[in-house]
Structure 1
């Protein structure tokens, strides 16, 4: 596949390190391979790079910048990452993303469509203490990535990260104020081609209202605080092309 070959070329400088880590994961979890081992390995290298690269062209910040700017240089990377995420378990529930309340509040019914991957923390895990939640998302197909991060015999990751594939759309259901921190934007992940679900109406659908009820229940209960005081960088910041 040309996309995978292009990604391998782009990742040449750091391929071996990520590939070695992926090989260890595949040894422990052969179900991730699917029917095509080499295709699966390439896809999972992209996911591992997105989750762990400290610098360079595969750093998550570079991928986000490239996709939001429409440059297209890292599209093969994004394609392999999306394919890798579809191999991982899906997550249904509340996902949380941090950030500041910059700019005007998005109107109810608006579509926030992000060409880049969007990372958040599962609402069932701890969230950073003293750092406000900016987005609460009702996830249906967000993907659990812990399998690529856990190390045998080591402590599990503090947080359960959920990643939405590049191009995912989110519908604004409400904006709620909270006692401390920024106001919280409540979103529903839209499956498939998001624009097919949008008609410009502010009126919420039945699915929107169900998702809103789940999100408001979670907000009312609050979230378990972890030891960190800052959000993981991938799990913080504006959602959508224009932020």
Structure 2
């Protein structure tokens, strides 16, 4: 519950704690996340990013997200002007089991994602904003930098990536993309 109330340090504030305390905190968070029910499907969150950060979201690129991501099941209203991240989650954890009152999806820190698209799309009011579509890599796909040459994967979207990209674009355009029951059942991703 402490993690959900934002009482523990995150990001740059984590560096203010002794290394042994930070390591113990990270181990507890990871252990707690593994105990929550899993979530497979579309999740959405917003975040302010600079144009330099936005440039790293090139289709086919594998990106690492060091922080825990707090998302909601998609589609969800995207208020404000922040960049919208639409993620196909395979390792997210549902917090509704904690009776927090709202559906929240937590994606563990140090997760890797494949960029499926980064496009300026109009929202309900007609304003354009950046939408970044990501596919969370499975544990089997996540390799250390020493094991795989990341540059060899640039620009490569396989059949599964294209099917998920199509579903996420449908959600971004106001469609449902996939149902929760279909996502939980782990059904075939081909549209």
Q: TM-score, normalised by structure 1?
A: 0.58
- Give 2:112's match in structure 1, choosing from 169, 175, 185: 169
1:118-150 superposed Cα distances (whole Å, 9 cap, x missing partner): 1111115x4354555521111112110122243
Q: Which runs of 5+ in 1 are unaligned?
A: 1-47, 151-155, 224-243
Q: Report the Cα distance in structure 2 between the residues aligned to 1:209 and 1:90, rounded to whole angstroms.
A: 23
Match of residue 69 from structure 2: 118
2:49–2:83 CA contact under 8 A, matched in 1: no
Paired residues, number:
161
- Whether 1:84 and 2:29 are equivalent positions in the alignment is no
Q: Decide whether aligned partners of structure 1 residues 183 and 161 sit closer, same or farther in structure 2, where only a CA change above 3 A counts.
A: same
Q: Decide whether aligned partners of structure 1 residues 134 and 68 sit closer, same or farther in structure 2, where only a CA change above 3 A counts.
A: farther
Indicate the structure with greater strand content: 2
Indicate the structure with greater helix content: 1
* Coordinate RMSD, CA, aligned: 2.7
Q: Decide whether aligned partners of structure 1 residues 128 and 67 sit closer, same or farther in structure 2, where only a CA change above 3 A counts.
A: same
Match of residue 100 from structure 1: 48
Q: Decide whether aligned partners of structure 1 residues 221 and 49 sit closer, same or farther in structure 2, where only a CA change above 3 A counts.
A: same
Q: Secondary structure at the match of 2:157?
A: coil
Q: Which runs of 5+ in 2 are unaligned?
A: 177-191
Q: Report the Cα distance in structure 2 between the residues aligned to 1:137 and 1:120, rounded to whole angstroms.
A: 9
Q: Decide whether aligned partners of structure 1 residues 143 and 92 sit closer, same or farther in structure 2, where only a CA change above 3 A counts.
A: same
| Higher alpha-carbon Rg | 1
2:86–2:132 CA contact under 8 A, matched in 1: yes
Q: How big is the shift at 1:182?
A: 2.3
